[in-house]
Structure 1
Amino acid sequence: MRKLYVVVALLCAAWCVWWWVASSTLQNGVQAWFDARRAEGWQAELGSVTGGGFPFHLQAELSDIALADPDAGLAIQTDRLDITAPAHWPGNVSVALDDGPILLASPLGRSALTMQDGQMALNLHPGTALELAALGWTANKWTISDATGVQVEADTLTLTMTQDSGPTYDFVASADSFAPGDATRAPLRLPDTFPRAFDSLTMQARVTFDRAWDRRALDTIRPQPRQITLHLAEAKWGGLNLNFAADLSVNAQGVPDGSMSIQAENWRTMLDLAQASGTLPPAFRDQTETVLKLLAGASGNPDTLDVDLTLRDGAIYLGFLPIAPAPRLIIR
């Protein structure tokens, strides 16, 4: 029995040493990453890093965080970020986001993201590259607002990114009761009778990148999409029903090539909203409606548009007619 006590005591001592080394490595690693970003010309401010979680978890509580990547023109600022991982494998990381406003800036403008119970979970493969196996992001009530007011809000957020093999990942996203805020509804001139929230907003896709997501995605250039299969993107709102699907290949310049299908129910209501918001000038209403009526009639249902588009040579084609430039699909 005495030998058993000695063995248990040695194991406990070894575990304590391991926990202390792993906890110190986590805290020092966070600080070193911020130092490396500053050396690259980023704004990378960190108020403090404190540890905890003994004996079964590793924790790093970060405060007063400000990050800005001058090349991408992206910035984020938050008061708190809590990182937790099991002590036996630090590669399964849980990140608790701040319930207070998270300030975001991009070339599109400045906004504030507020979430209740925002959580991110990362599952990493063993190894120094820390290749991403899965990522999940969930939250309860959340809003995005700017100086004009609330832009969008929803009751929940679910986003998952799961590695299938190598650089190929499956994406699933949904938001319950997604709703444009008053700052968004006002320019659209939506009638008071129009529903405030979407009935459904979901997306399922598979994307193959030029390399797998790993620690280099934060340190250097982001992985870029090379093959995109959009199984379904669906939005239902007040009798409007939009469905998108696509199969695209993307070259090194971010130019997509492939096909896209769009199905839109009650498309006349969409025209009404576009005209009311000023997006569609009244002078073009009749002409646009005539074209869409012909397209809807060709699909067999006058109330439903069912259109197949082709993307090639940097343009979007409807049949043989180029109707718009194709977007550049580049992750900054």
Structure 2
Amino acid sequence: MDDPVLRVQSQLTDRDRVLLGWLYDHGVLTSFQIAHAQFSSLDFCQRRLRTLHRLRLVARFRPQRAEGGSYPYHYVIDQLGAEVVAAGRDERPPRRDHARTERRRWTSSRTLAHRLGVNQFFTDLAGYARTHAGAELRQWLPEAACARSGAFTTAADPALVRAYQPRVRPDGYGVWAEHGVTVPVFVEYDAGGEQLSVLVDKLAGYRELYATVGWVWPVLFWLHSAARERNLRRLLVEAPPPVPVATSARDWAAAAGLCPAEAVWATAHGDGRRHRLADLVASVADLRHPRGAAA
């Protein structure tokens, strides 16, 4: 009996497998995001995406702009692609309607812009790593994976793995490495619609998480605008955060031609100077605490 997963395996490159895994985990990526993260040219990227689409590994849709015209193609996992990813991870095959459900979710989702914004943060890091020797996006987890029980604990402590479920729901988690320095980070993507006090209140959950797992990582607020960042930093001065925090604004970074890997981050405990992402490891050097510390 012909197995379509086995049949298509020999046609996949390592880059294809990474992309399929991203789509399976993170839902949706535009052709521009994929090209920046993985390819030397948009044309080369589009040719490969057409091949993956022909093989029914990925599906695509193209939202219409309110002012006329359309956005670039948005890519999601197709059913065969989901089965390939599950087989490669030695996981149970996805439901037969997995791809259809995901496609409907993103073609009609009011959270599409937010998800694309979060994914832009990480594809910007991947694109920087692609073009800069010594840089690497070693891990990228979506919100759902961050919320799973035991997501940030280790197999060396099985009781804790089974019992603890994080109260925080970051928009993403990543491990960034550059020139021998590794820094794990949580990302809070701000679309500009929430009260800033809601963002500040999230930090209590991170404090609880860190007290449980015995490790501390920076929490990054990737803010909608420079004005939002200034206002958030005023709140953080009035109520110093209980965990390491760094802030930046997307409009300011874009105007400066900088991506999240570069010197765009101002620490909440600092003097406002901007730091590279890898340099944020210094902001937590004195804040790590042993497991069991009081929250």
State the TM-score, normalizing by the size of structure 2. Answer: 0.26
Higher RCO (CA 8 Å, separation ≥ 6 residues): 2
Quick check: which has more Rg, 1 or 2?
Answer: 1
State the TM-score, normalizing by the size of structure 1. Answer: 0.24
Query: Which structure: greater strand fraction?
Result: 1
